[in-house]
């Protein structure tokens, strides 16, 4: 990516979207909307001082909501360009409140709250669509209770937990444990504030709050409004401290997830949603299980699937090595439902299709291998580009020319075309670039003649 950013013949237009496409192959006019970052890219050094001081904390969508970020943020580490962006939906200054802290601490003077969207027109000969994909919404399958049971997560969420740059620095902390730790932090903050108020009363009356409270309950200070207020504050403080201590005792037993279940074909090979196989999910689950075992040698994984489709070169050997060296078990089964057991442990109920028996097993965490779904922008982008989509929602391409869309000069590759893994996406991208080069060459030859 760094090489792309430095290449003299490549112009990166990040944080932008296509508004309009006119013309024909060899002579397209594309209108691009450069969205306002409220940060000057040329001035920003990416130091992060603004994000450190920003008081607004929001859910981090890059980390699938498992972590937090500030209203001024960098989408992910080592992104190109290395700059920050202000979230207009959450920034206090942009929503009419007084703040501007990021502007005050930015030594590069890069913050610009007056920045507006800009429209740029480009003349291009060919267009390649590589719009990626979306993760299937697993909550559409109610029996798996995704979003209801905290320790049932998707494969992409598990990927972020495994990442050293993720919300848990690569430790497999369970979402239920993370929620309790966040609750502890919130209660500690409230208890600290409450304690300061009690300190003022204790200093004023030179008496500990606990001793006073017993006397107050015995009726010694009836009619004293100030002491009544003290008693109310102390009662509210106890209502914070007691559950806080209980949560802390519960948190002492927390550890990383060591018993993992991977459920394949969540949304894929399912006539209710997507009848196709998403292709990469089996190998993705095996890879994640292997990495989890590398993080913690006691980790065991069970992969539930109708079958394991290890169709690439070396994939079957990789699968077998995972079973032999990384404590992975493969169970041929269809999971019927997931319930919640003690300690927030998900319980998987499944039919073992080899033994023809219904079984259940509890785990520390369940990972759903969700289908590769079309990007949400496909419908609107297809209208802008003037190209068709197929019955699954991906861009329609030709049978004999699998990279060509229904409009000459516009090509599709990667998961814009359909589900595929990284090596196949890279190969298709090279092919799409070659097809685009043909269009440009033909256009130049026509101009020369």
CATH number of the CATH domain containing 73: 3.30.70
Q: For residue 425, name the pLDDT band (cuts at 50, 70, 90).
A: very high
Last residue of a domain, one of 320, 342, 373: 373
Tell me the three state secondary structure of residue 45. Answer: coil
Is-contact 308 325, C-beta < 8 A? no
- The whole-angstrom separation of Cα 158 and Cα 172 is 8
- Assessment of whether the complete model's pTM goes beyond 0.85: yes
Q: Which tens digits make up the pLDDT trace of 181-205?
A: 999 999 999 999 999 999 999 999 9
Residue 350 and residue 231 share a domain? no
Domain that holds residue 222: 184-248
Asked whether residue 152 falls in the same domain as residue 284, the answer is yes
In a shared domain, residues 331 and 234:
no
Among 21-30, 74-83, 92-101, 109-118, name the one with the lowest average pLDDT: 74-83
Residue 104 has pLDDT above 90, yes or no: yes
CB 269 within 8 A of CB 276: yes
Residue 438 lies in a domain: yes
Residues 288 and 147 in one domain: yes
CATH code of the domain containing 21? 3.50.50.60
**306 and 241 both lie in a single domain:** no
- Where does the pLDDT of residue 220 fall: very low under 50, low under 70, confident under 90, or very high at 90 and above? confident
d(CA 37, CA 16): 10
335 with 380, same domain?
no
Structure confidence by residue, pLDDT tens digits, 378-416: 999 999 999 999 999 999 999 899 999 999 999 999 999
Instruction: Name the band, by pLDDT with cuts 50, 70 and 90, for residue 445.
Output: confident
Question: What SS3 state is found at 380?
Answer: helix
CB-CB neighbours of 247 under 10 Å: 15
Residue that terminates a domain, selected from 316, 351, 373: 373
Residues 159 and 290 in one domain: yes
Q: Are 268 and 241 in the same domain?
A: no
Domain boundary (373, 389, 414) is at 373
Decide if pLDDT at 444 tops 90: no
Kindly state whether residues 192 and 67 are assigned to the same domain. no
Q: Are residues 156 and 189 in the same domain?
A: no
State whether 306 and 349 are in the same domain.
Answer: yes
Q: Which residue, among 424, 402, 414, 403, has the nearest Cα to 312 in the 3D structure?
A: 424
In-domain check, residue 291: yes
What distance in Å separates the CA atoms of residue 82 and residue 79, rounded to the nearest whole number? 6
| Strands 346-352 vs 259-266: parallel, antiparallel or unpaired | unpaired
Domain count, the chain: 4
| 158 within domain boundaries | yes
| Residue range 299-344, pLDDT digits in tens | 999 999 999 998 888 999 999 999 999 999 999 998 999 999 999 9
Question: Confidence class of residue 160 from pLDDT cuts 50, 70 and 90?
Answer: very high
When the pLDDT of each residue in the chain is averaged and rounded to a whole number, the result is: 93
Q: Do the domain assignments include residue 3?
A: yes
Taking CA atoms, 95 is separated from 22, 26, 58, 350, in Å, by 36, 44, 15, 50
Q: Is residue 179 part of a domain?
A: no
Q: Indicate whether 342 and 261 sit together in one domain.
A: yes
Average pLDDT score over residue span 50-61 = 94
What one-character-per-residue DSSP string does 199-255 give?
Answer: HHHHHHHTS-HHHHHHHHHTTTTTT-HHHHHHHHHHHHHHHHHHHHHHHHHHHTT--
Percent of the chain with pLDDT over 90: 84
Does position 245 have pLDDT exceeding 90, yes or no? yes
Q: Is residue 214 part of a domain?
A: yes
Residues 222-244 have pLDDT tens digits of: 888 898 999 999 999 999 999 99
Count of beta carbons in the 10 Å neighbourhood of residue 302: 21
What pLDDT shows up at residue 1?
61
Percent of all residues in the chain with a pLDDT value above 70, rounded to a whole number: 99
């Amino acid at each position: 990516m760094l090489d792309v950013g430095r290449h003299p013949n490549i112009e990166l237009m990040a944080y932008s979207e296509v508004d309009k496409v006119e013309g024909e192959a060899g002579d397209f006019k594309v209108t691009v909307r450069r969205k306002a970052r409220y940060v000057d890219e040329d001035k920003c050094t990416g130091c992060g001082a603004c994000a450190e001081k920003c008081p607004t904390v929001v859910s981090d969508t890059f980390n699938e909501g498992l972590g937090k970020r500030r209203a001024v943020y960098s989408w992910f580490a080592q992104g190109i360009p290395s700059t920050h962006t202000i979230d207009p939906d959450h920034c206090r200054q942009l929503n009419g409140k007084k703040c501007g802290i990021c502007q005050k601490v930015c030594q590069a003077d890069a913050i610009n709250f007056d920045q507006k969207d800009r429209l740029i027109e480009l003349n291009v000969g060919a267009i390649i669509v590589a719009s990626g994909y979306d993760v299937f919404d697993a909550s559409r399958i109610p029996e798996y209770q995704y979003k209801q049971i905290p320790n049932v997560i998707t494969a992409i969420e598990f990927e972020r937990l495994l990442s050293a740059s993720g919300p848990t620095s690569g430790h497999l902390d369970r979402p239920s444990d993370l929620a309790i730790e966040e609750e502890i932090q919130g209660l500690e903050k409230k208890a600290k504030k409450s304690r300061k108020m009690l300190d003022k009363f204790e200093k004023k009356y030179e008496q500990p709050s606990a001793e006073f409270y017993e006397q107050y309950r015995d009726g010694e200070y009836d009619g004293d409004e100030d002491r009544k207020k003290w008693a109310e504050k102390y009662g509210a403080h106890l209502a914070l401290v007691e559950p806080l201590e209980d949560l802390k005792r519960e948190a002492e037993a927390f550890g990383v997830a060591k018993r993992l279940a991977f459920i394949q074909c969540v949304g894929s090979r399912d006539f209710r949603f997507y009848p196709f196989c998403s292709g990469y999910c089996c190998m993705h689950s095996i890879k994640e299980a292997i990495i989890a075992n590398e993080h913690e040698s006691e980790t065991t994984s069970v992969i539930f699937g109708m079958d394991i489709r290890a169709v690439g070169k070396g994939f079957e050997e990789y699968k077998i090595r995972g079973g032999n060296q990384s404590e992975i078990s493969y169970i041929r089964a269809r999971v019927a439902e997931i319930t919640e057991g003690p300690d927030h442990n998900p319980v998987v109920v499944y039919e073992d299709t080899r033994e023809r028996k219904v079984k259940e097993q509890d785990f520390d965490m369940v990972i759903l291998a969700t289908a590769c779904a079309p990007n949400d922008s496909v419908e609107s982008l297809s209208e802008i580009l003037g190209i068709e989509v197929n019955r699954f929602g991906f861009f329609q391409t030709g049978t004999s020319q699998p990279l060509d869309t229904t409009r000459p000069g516009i090509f599709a590759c990667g998961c814009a075309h359909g589900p595929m893994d990284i090596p196949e996406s890279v190969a298709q991208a090279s092919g799409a670039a070659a097809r685009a080069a043909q269009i440009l060459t033909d256009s130049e030859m026509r101009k020369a003649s």
